[in-house]
Amino acid sequence: MALSDSIKSLFLKAKEKDEFEFICTLINYRSMGSKYSNSNLYEWFDAISFYEDLYNKQAHIVNKTRIGLLIYTTFFESSDLYSILGNLSRIVLGYRCSPYLYFKRDKANKGLAAEDKISYVQEVLLDAGYEEIEQFFENMFVKQLRNTFCHSSYSIVETELILQEEKEPILIENVGTTVVDIENFIIPKISELLVFFNSFKSEFLTQYASYTENKKVKGRLPDLTDITIIGSSQGLRGFESGAVNIILDDTGFWSGTNIRFGHTSEVDRHVLEELVRFSKKADIRTNDGALEKLYQVITERNKPDEISNLSAIYQRFALIVQEKAIKESNYFKQQDLFKRAIRFYQKACDLNPELCLNPNMALLKYKVAESCGDINLKKEALSDLIKCLGAKMSELQIKNVIVLLKELKKQRIEVPEEKINFRELLSNYKGEDLKSAVELGLAELEKISG
């Protein structure tokens, strides 16, 4: 599907799925104010269209590049873009939109970087079936290009852009470089970006203008109820349902009655929806920023049931990614997957320390440590596996500890404390079921220590 068709489809599917949530996304209401003062969206529309006009008038490639990079950086910084894309995707999946969902500032008083905003919506776009849109952001956004322009740390020599202070080179066809061909790298990106922008802007405004008369729908406030969408000759003017409404008056001023987006019950609702959404996911394909944000919110709220549910989600994702890594034939992709699985396991353990006594986690740690030559991580993996034995004696894990001890001996890595702990565990075992396995373990340990 062409990118412009994919954008149109996202709007239409969300509208078909839940029209009330759809118009709430279009209204993009945060608080009382005009549409220009209440969000950046319309300034973003106007600014990029203005810059595009300047861009198309430039005959000289240097000037064209300067204006093009202004378009590029302005495009990726808009929080409203990601909020709308993310909420439309959530609606397609059957969930409610959330006006504060993306980019509510943390206590650090620092806004999110563009790459963080993108990470918030990539996974939910994939879940909703819009890989073309997700891939647009994956392929088009280059952090180094954004940084070098915003920090004015570049120069232009004829048809080349030179990154002056950027420590991380741009990867082009798997080759790192700080000198970029403008005509073959930058101009094509700006052209595709403008296609996306104009398609998104056109579809948003078309849908907004389509509400020329009132329409009755069902919507959740939070219970399912009758709602009237208010239309006019100028398009969408809000909605009302009993004592609840959001209205655009004749002066262009938005106001709401009994609207509490940041109320505790709304936050509870959103957190629960996100836990349900993640628990139903069959796969996780990106470094999901929305999942990381949920982790931050839940740890701050410190509610035991939420912590337990999120820990289980991280553990399930760790197993999913670990299984993908085992099946992956490309060595570098495999190691990246193993590292992602470790991160998921670690998050699960941070939320629920009892999960740290997990032999799968310990063995995965060792695999990752082998791939990157991390001696301390190897020792940590062995120690974790021995702790697992302390929690539950198992013939398989006795054998696994012996295998790791032999591997570490070959690599001349000393682990005296771990050997002592292992010997004590085996020596103190008084059961009969694993007697032969314990005796074999002690005999192998003596050989390794000899």
Tokens representing residue 116 in the block = 């963080």
pLDDT of residue 110: 56
The answer to whether 232 and 208 have CB atoms below 8 angstroms apart is no
Cα 243 to Cα 171: distance, rounded to the nearest angstrom: 55
* Domain regions of the chain by residue span: 3-208, 215-257, 265-449
| Residue bearing tokens 């080349």 | 160
What confidence tens digit (pLDDT) does each residue in 398-445 have?
Answer: 999 999 999 999 999 999 999 999 999 999 988 888 989 999 999 999
Cα 230 to Cα 237: distance, rounded to the nearest angstrom: 5
| Residue bearing tokens 């699960």 | 348
Q: How far is CA 440 from the centre of its chain?
A: 47
In sequence order, the β-bridge partners of residue 312 are: none
Helix, strand, coil shares of the chain, percent, nearest 5, are 65, 10, 25
Cα 362 to Cα 382: distance, rounded to the nearest angstrom: 7
In sequence order, the β-bridge partners of residue 25 are: none
Cα 449 to Cα 442: distance, rounded to the nearest angstrom: 10
What confidence tens digit (pLDDT) does each residue in 322-345 have?
Answer: 889 888 999 888 888 888 888 898
Torsion region of 109: left, alpha or beta (phi above 0 gives left; psi -120 to 50 gives alpha): left
pLDDT of residue 260: 65
- The answer for residues whose C-beta is within 8 angstroms of residue 230's C-beta and 6 or more apart is 211, 214, 236, 237, 238, 239, 240, 247
Taking alpha carbons only, the member of 221, 220, 253, 222 closest to residue 238 is 253
| Residue bearing tokens 């490639």 | 61
Cα 163 to Cα 154: distance, rounded to the nearest angstrom: 5
| Residue bearing tokens 């609606």 | 91
In sequence order, the β-bridge partners of residue 161 are: 156, 180
Domain 265-449 CATH class label: mainly alpha
- pLDDT of the chain, 450 residues: tens digit per residue: 799 999 999 999 999 999 999 999 999 887 788 888 888 899 999 999 999 999 999 999 999 999 999 999 999 999 899 999 999 999 999 999 886 554 344 544 456 789 989 999 999 999 999 999 999 999 999 999 999 999 999 999 999 999 998 778 898 888 889 999 999 999 999 999 999 999 999 999 999 999 999 999 999 888 899 999 999 999 999 999 988 888 888 888 888 887 765 556 778 888 999 999 999 999 998 888 889 989 998 999 999 999 999 999 999 998 899 889 888 999 888 888 888 888 898 899 889 887 766 787 788 788 878 877 788 888 988 998 998 888 889 999 999 999 999 999 999 999 999 999 999 999 998 888 898 999 999 999 999 987
Query: What's the Cα-to-Cα distance from 51 to each of 54, 76, 110, rounded to whole Å?
Result: 5, 14, 27
The answer to whether 16 and 217 have CB atoms below 8 angstroms apart is no
Q: How far is CA 376 from the centre of its chain?
A: 29
Cα 406 to Cα 24: distance, rounded to the nearest angstrom: 62
